[in-house]
Chains A and B, each alone.
Chain A
Amino acid sequence: MGHQILKTSRLKKLLDRAMPIILSLGVFLAVATVAGLIIDVVSSGWHRLSPGLLTNYASANPAEAGLRSAFLGTIYTVGLSAIICIPLSIATALYLTEFSGTGRLSSILRYNIANLAGVPSIIFGVVGLGFLVYGLGMGRSIIAGAFTLAILTLPLVTVTCIEAINTVPDDLRLGAYALGATKLQVAAHVLLPRALPMMLTGGILGISRAIGEAAPILVISGLLFIREDPVSLFDIFTVMPLQLFNWISRPQMAFRELASAGIIVLLLLLLGLNAAAIVLRHRLTRRLT
């Protein structure tokens, strides 16, 4: 009997010791995937990196093919979507935190933001196609893509903006009200200046998400072969992840390498944006305090 207890307790002791190692396998899987992905992409794509990758148009010849129209398409579409999404998110966050109170309407609106976040991204594409492209007659245009991406990133950016406002100390808000400030004055002079750095970080988060989205844009723009710069918001377009999808789907080795090089560019762009977000946040916070 005593022997038995001793034995199970020894086993348990061993398991107790081993636990962090077993658990860290989950973490290892994540780290290994990121590392493997980067090594694979860089090793097969780095020798294809050249300025031509960004300045050349799409081509059936992998040696001449580049991301130019896709890169410009991404900048136009995502840029416009950010211009729509960020102010909308800030306004929404201000309303839900400061203006609406905690009534029924506010909780319904909040609930629907969570619901919108759960809608699969390709559904945004399908609805964008039915409603914006054909319903409202926007055509398969940059503006249809931008609106779709703006709505797609809206929940993410809004949630960050709400969190940003919640970090502003209550004392400051209440102090301002005590001095007779209106809600608008509190929003403009107390909340916004302090919450803005974090809100902009949220905006950049949304932009990164929008840059990587291929599925909804695929449905809206189709898989196009474009050899022109976009000049108007009603032009047809393609974006970087879609161009990569196109290259990945081709069987030739040369296109695979081209896709790897394109992925390096895309990941560097996202990395740069995230670094910018950190720097921006740091700078703005320092200036305000």
Chain B
Amino acid sequence: MIAETVARSIRRRRQQNKIFTFLFMSSAMVATVTLVIIYATLIYESIGFFQHVNVFEFLTGVKWTPLFEEKNFGVLPIFNATLITSAIAIALAAPAGLASAIFLSEYASMNVRSVVKPVIETLAGIPTVVYGYFALYFLTPEFLRQIIPGLGIHNALATGLMIGVLILPIVASISDDALLAVPADLRFGAYALGARKIDVVMRIAVPAALSGIAASIILAFARAMGETMIAAIAGGFRPVLTSDVRQAMETMTAYIAQVATGDAPHGTVEYQSLFAVGLFLLIITALLNFVGLRVVKRWAIKY
């Protein structure tokens, strides 16, 4: 009688275990399934797009006028704008983020660190519309225009700098992790040989953490390319192929936002162009992330 009850209870437990294992596994598959859906949706709609627009023309065209009477779908102007704003962003975020990381991991006391690190991380938590507002109403008129005459209300420079502030915490926190992972022995060895702190930091710690630092910059660049609201608010909706950062230029993400704010009826070429631009952007950022994650992984096993 008792044995029977116990057997039943064990059976029930095993069954429950099986059911929940299945449930948990299904949950764990969601991310993978979503990735498949993301690529499938983008590719499916892009195929529709490329039935109207030549792939070669899309990739090499220098005119992007999808919302005009005479439609041109050359992605280069908006791709160029994405590259320029992201390059400005990384030009600000890489040195500033790296300096913060070195300061936090090598110089700051525990007390300073526990205050400063959350402040830097706060930068990543501020909604990007707020940054867009700040670039449009403060950075450009109150600050940059005093230094640079001829700066447009919407311009690539302020957009890039603001995105730079947004991605600074990415560079800082991944580089910080990389620096902290450098074994103390290496540093002590250098000190024992009579090295100054600056030499220990710049010639021992930073080179040892270099792959992590490189990864942080690659990942931050990918994040910068995907940033939308700052580009849409401060960069303007003007798709021109130019290298003049004082001008407004429309990034790929800003184009998607622009079409979304208007009304592109389902099934039209404008609607499909969202997916073609999205696919193009996703492929580039995915490649960057792939390289970045690879580099992080390599650095992670090293010690």
- Which of chain A's residues 17-44 have a Cβ closer than 8 Å to chain B? 19-20, 22-27, 29-31, 33-34, 36-37, 40-41, 44
Asked whether, in the complex, the Cβ of A123 is within 8 Å of the Cβ of B281, the reply is yes
B274: A residues at CB distance < 8 A = 126, 129, 219
In angstroms, how far is the closest chain A Cβ from the Cβ of B43?
Answer: 11
Asked whether, in the complex, the Cβ of B136 is within 8 Å of the Cβ of A248, the reply is yes
B23: A residues at CB distance < 8 A = 91
Asked whether, in the complex, the Cβ of B289 is within 8 Å of the Cβ of A214, the reply is no
Kindly state the interface size class of chain A when it binds its partner: 35 or more
Asked whether, in the complex, the Cβ of B31 is within 8 Å of the Cβ of A92, the reply is yes
Interface centre among B17, B102, B133 (most CB of A within 10 A): B133
- Docked CA distance A182–B100 (Å): 47
Contacts A92-B28, A135-B41, A270-B125: A120 and B16 contacting too (C-beta < 8 A)? no
- Which of chain A's residues 112-133 have a Cβ closer than 8 Å to chain B? 112-116, 118-127, 129-131
B256: A residues at CB distance < 8 A = 122, 125-126, 219
Looking across the interface, which residue of chain B has its beta carbon closest to that of A32?
A: B165
Looking across the interface, which residue of chain A has its beta carbon closest to that of B14?
A: A182
**B27 interface hit (Cβ, 8 Å):** yes
Contacts A119-B285, A222-B260: A266 and B130 contacting too (C-beta < 8 A)? yes
Asked whether, in the complex, the Cβ of A109 is within 8 Å of the Cβ of B95, the reply is no
Asked whether, in the complex, the Cβ of A33 is within 8 Å of the Cβ of B123, the reply is yes
- Docked CA distance A115–B32 (Å): 9
- Which of chain A's residues 95-146 have a Cβ closer than 8 Å to chain B? 95-96, 99-100, 108-109, 112-116, 118-127, 129-131, 134-135
Asked whether, in the complex, the Cβ of A108 is within 8 Å of the Cβ of B257, the reply is no
- Docked CA distance A182–B222 (Å): 43
Q: Which of B38, B104, B133, B134 contacts A119 (CB 8 A)?
A: B38
Asked whether, in the complex, the Cβ of A115 is within 8 Å of the Cβ of B289, the reply is yes
**B268 interface hit (Cβ, 8 Å):** no
A131: B residues at CB distance < 8 A = 37, 41
Asked whether, in the complex, the Cβ of A215 is within 8 Å of the Cβ of B257, the reply is yes
Looking across the interface, which residue of chain B has its beta carbon closest to that of A122?
A: B228
Asked whether, in the complex, the Cβ of B20 is within 8 Å of the Cβ of A116, the reply is no
Total residues of chain B contacting the partner, CB 8 A = 85
Q: Which of A40, A92, A219, A270 contacts B27 (CB 8 A)?
A: A92
Q: Which of B16, B29, B261 contacts A222 (CB 8 A)?
A: B261
Question: Main secondary structure on chain B at its contact with chain A?
Answer: helix
**A244 interface hit (Cβ, 8 Å):** yes
B253: A residues at CB distance < 8 A = 120, 122, 215
- Docked CA distance A227–B172 (Å): 43
Mask, A154-172, CB within 8 Å of B = 1, is 1100100000000000000
Asked whether, in the complex, the Cβ of A16 is within 8 Å of the Cβ of B138, the reply is no
Contacts A116-B34, A121-B228, A122-B226: A100 and B25 contacting too (C-beta < 8 A)? yes
B242: A residues at CB distance < 8 A = none
Q: Which of B41, B130, B261 contacts A127 (CB 8 A)?
A: B41
In angstroms, how far is the closest chain A Cβ from the Cβ of B74?
Answer: 20
Asked whether, in the complex, the Cβ of A267 is within 8 Å of the Cβ of B130, the reply is yes
**B70 interface hit (Cβ, 8 Å):** no
Asked whether, in the complex, the Cβ of B25 is within 8 Å of the Cβ of A214, the reply is no
Asked whether, in the complex, the Cβ of B127 is within 8 Å of the Cβ of A266, the reply is yes
- Which of chain A's residues 60-115 have a Cβ closer than 8 Å to chain B? 87-88, 91-92, 94-96, 99-100, 108-109, 112-115
**A196 interface hit (Cβ, 8 Å):** no
- Docked CA distance A17–B293 (Å): 36
Q: Could you name 27 residue pairs across A and B whose Cβ atoms are closer than 8 Å? A: A19-B107, A24-B103, A26-B98, A27-B119, A27-B120, A29-B165, A40-B137, A100-B28, A108-B32, A115-B31, A115-B286, A120-B281, A122-B278, A122-B281, A130-B45, A131-B37, A154-B30, A212-B125, A212-B126, A215-B229, A215-B232, A218-B257, A218-B260, A223-B261, A241-B129, A248-B133, A263-B133
User: Which 8 A-B residue pairs are closest in the complex by CB-CB distance?
Assistant: A120-B226, A26-B99, A212-B127, A91-B27, A118-B289, A95-B24, A215-B228, A23-B103
Interfacial residues, chain B to chain A (CB-CB below 8 A) = 13-14, 16-17, 20-21, 23-25, 27-32, 34-35, 37-38, 41-42, 44-45, 95-100, 102-104, 107, 116, 119-120, 122-123, 125-134, 136-138, 165, 168-169, 172, 196-198, 201, 219, 222-223, 225-229, 232-233, 253, 256-257, 260-261, 263, 266, 274-275, 278, 281-282, 285-286, 289, 293
| Further contacts, 16 of them, CB under 8 A, given A26-B172, A184-B17 | A19-B197, A19-B201, A29-B96, A37-B131, A41-B130, A100-B28, A125-B260, A182-B14, A182-B16, A184-B13, A213-B127, A218-B257, A219-B274, A222-B260, A248-B137, A249-B233
Interfacial residues, chain A to chain B (CB-CB below 8 A) = 12-13, 15-16, 19-20, 22-27, 29-31, 33-34, 36-37, 40-41, 44, 87-88, 91-92, 94-96, 99-100, 108-109, 112-116, 118-127, 129-131, 134-135, 151, 154-155, 158, 182-185, 187, 208-209, 211-215, 218-219, 222-223, 241, 244-245, 248-249, 256, 259-260, 263, 266-267, 270, 274
